[in-house]
């Protein structure tokens, strides 16, 4: 009678299991967990990148004035440049530059300001309806030498020719408030300078009665551009 052979794969009494086989089996069972963990990391990274890209996209390129453009002048390439600004600010995107070039400025445009819809069009629309321009001859010392276009100002009655203010019994014209549309330098040292103010049409008659006018620049809060 021949001795029986142990069946293949059967463990003999006292025999040790093969560590290599056990390790291989364990690794094979754990590998799917590692794969899912890696997939989760990729998904989280993709979501984070999308949120970052969305936040970065809140700024866009818009059109900025490179120089002063008087009302009625045609906007040209040299008048505009691109800059980044927060979106939804009511300004003209740089992508719309083709729709701007060749159009006329409806109001005086100031260098460095963002171009906004409604400031340009096919026809001249200045002064705006209900407003008029009044030019004042301002003597030296009756206005700040730094008064410039776009300043919000009040024009008041100044002292008489002798340098004395009007008495309470004398009737003086009420001050008018408006926005400086143009401020010219004096033609000669110490001479008068011309300051043109955009104001409500109803105040023009009052402005015409102001003698020896002086200009006071109002605080920037509530300032309007002409």
CATH of the domain at 82: 3.90.1210.10
Over 50: is that where the pLDDT of 222 sits?
Answer: no
211 lies in the same domain as 148: yes
Question: What does the pLDDT average to over 65-94?
Answer: 87
pLDDT tens-digit map of 180-197: 988 998 888 888 999 999
90 lies in the same domain as 158: no
Q: Give the whole-angstrom CA distance, residue 212 versus residue 155.
A: 10
Banded pLDDT at 47 (limits 50, 70, 90): very low
107 lies in the same domain as 147: no
Strand partners, 211: none
109 φ, ψ to 5°? -105, 135
Q: Tell me, yes or no, whether 208 lies in a domain.
A: yes
76 lies in the same domain as 95: yes
Q: Tell me, yes or no, whether 85 lies in a domain.
A: yes
Question: Considering only CA atoms, which of 154, 193, 199, 160 is closest in space to residue 181?
Answer: 199
Domain boundary among 71, 88, 121: 121
Residue-level pLDDT at 73: 87
Q: Give the whole-angstrom CA distance, residue 209 versus residue 157.
A: 9
Q: Give the whole-angstrom CA distance, residue 62 versus residue 116.
A: 10
112 lies in the same domain as 140: no
Q: Tell me, yes or no, whether 5 lies in a domain.
A: no
Q: Tell me, yes or no, whether 34 lies in a domain.
A: no
Q: Give the whole-angstrom CA distance, residue 195 versus residue 134.
A: 8
Contacts 24+ apart (CB under 8 A), 168-173: 173/206, 173/207, 173/209, 173/210, 173/211
Banded pLDDT at 17 (limits 50, 70, 90): low
**Residues 6+ away with beta carbon under 8 Å from 188:** none
Give the residue numbers spanning the domain of 70.
Answer: 59-121
- The answer to whether 145 touches 208, Cβ cutoff 8 Å, is no
Of 6-15, 77-86, 91-100, 166-175, give the lowest mean pLDDT range.
6-15
Q: Tell me, yes or no, whether 209 lies in a domain.
A: yes
**Residues 6+ away with beta carbon under 8 Å from 160:** 166, 211, 212
Token representation of residue 57 = 């996209």
100 lies in the same domain as 162: no
Q: Tell me, yes or no, whether 70 lies in a domain.
A: yes
Q: Tell me, yes or no, whether 225 lies in a domain.
A: no
pTM over 0.85: no
3-state secondary structure of 26: helix
Average pLDDT, the chain: 75
183 lies in the same domain as 201: yes
Q: Tell me, yes or no, whether 21 lies in a domain.
A: no
114 lies in the same domain as 139: no
Q: What total number of domains does the chain contain?
A: 2
Over 80: is that where the pLDDT of 165 sits?
Answer: no
Of 11-20, 56-65, 127-136, 137-146, give the lowest mean pLDDT range.
11-20
Residue-level pLDDT at 101: 87
92 lies in the same domain as 153: no
Question: What does the pLDDT average to over 96-119?
Answer: 89
79 lies in the same domain as 137: no
91 lies in the same domain as 157: no
Tokens 């300051």 -> residue: 195
Strand partners, 178: 153
Q: Which whole-number Å values give the CA distances from 19 to 27, 28, 31, in the listed order? A: 12, 14, 18
């Amino acid at each position: 009678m021949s001795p029986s052979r142990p069946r293949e794969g059967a463990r003999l009494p006292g025999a040790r299991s093969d560590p290599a086989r056990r390790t291989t089996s364990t690794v094979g069972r754990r590998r799917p967990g590692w794969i899912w963990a890696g997939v989760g990391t990729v998904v989280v990274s993709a979501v984070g990148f999308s949120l970052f890209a969305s936040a970065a996209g809140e700024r866009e390129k818009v059109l900025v004035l490179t120089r002063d453009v008087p009302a009625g002048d045609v906007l040209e390439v040299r008048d505009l440049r691109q800059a980044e600004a927060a979106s939804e600010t009511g300004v003209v995107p740089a992508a719309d530059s083709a729709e701007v070039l060749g159009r006329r400025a409806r109001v005086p445009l100031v260098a460095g300001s963002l171009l906004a819809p409604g400031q340009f069009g096919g026809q001249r629309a200045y002064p705006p309806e209900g407003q008029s321009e009044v030019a004042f001859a301002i003597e030296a010392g009756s206005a700040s030498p730094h008064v410039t276009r776009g300043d919000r100002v009040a024009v008041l009655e100044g002292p008489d020719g002798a340098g004395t203010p009007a008495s309470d019994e004398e009737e003086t014209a009420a001050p008018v408030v408006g926005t400086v549309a143009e401020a010219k330098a004096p033609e000669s040292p110490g001479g008068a300078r011309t300051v043109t103010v955009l104001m409500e049409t109803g105040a023009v008659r009052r402005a015409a009665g102001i003698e020896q006018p002086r200009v006071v620049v109002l605080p920037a809060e509530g300032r309007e551009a002409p």
